[in-house]
Amino acid sequence: MELITRRICKTPHLGLRDNLFGGELLSWFDVDGLVFCSEKCDTADLVTVSMNATFINPVKVKNIVYTYGKIKKIGTTSITCELVARKHDVETGKEKEVGKADITFVRVDAEGDPRVFSQRVIKKINDEKKD
């Protein structure tokens, strides 16, 4: 998996029980997945159509959260990525999984209708998946 982002959990990110608010992690996943897939597809014309997320461990203030991603599949108009968020301990270098998500994006035109990826992009992503 490729490292996509690093963030620090701050007080405004907290929900009840002083843990990272689940909606905040979902938002991070959505943005991180969009950026990751946009870079892979050479387009920013993607919209989220589905997300399946799981929360695994709590995140506290000052925890540094790394998000990793990989492409699971690409179709003619859609792309699905798998994301994993891990809190990173700066003292030990160890990481602990805090959540994961599978997100599907669709490439759209100016009217919001599905738009086909170029064969070059599809080939590039399928070739990268083989490595």
CATH 3.40.50.720 fits 2-125, yes or no: no
For the residues of the chain, what is the DSSP string, one character each?
-EEEEEEE--GGGB-GGGSB-HHHHHHHHHHHHHHHHHHHHT-S-EEEEEEEEEE-S---TT-EEEEEEEEEEE-SSEEEEEEEEEEE-TTT--EEEEEEEEEEEEEB-TTS-B-PPPHHHHHHHHHHHH-
Q: What is the pLDDT of residues 69-93, one digit of tens each?
A: 999 999 999 999 999 999 999 889 9
Q: What is the pLDDT of residues 27-81, one digit of tens each?
A: 999 999 999 999 999 998 999 999 999 999 999 999 999 999 999 999 999 999 9
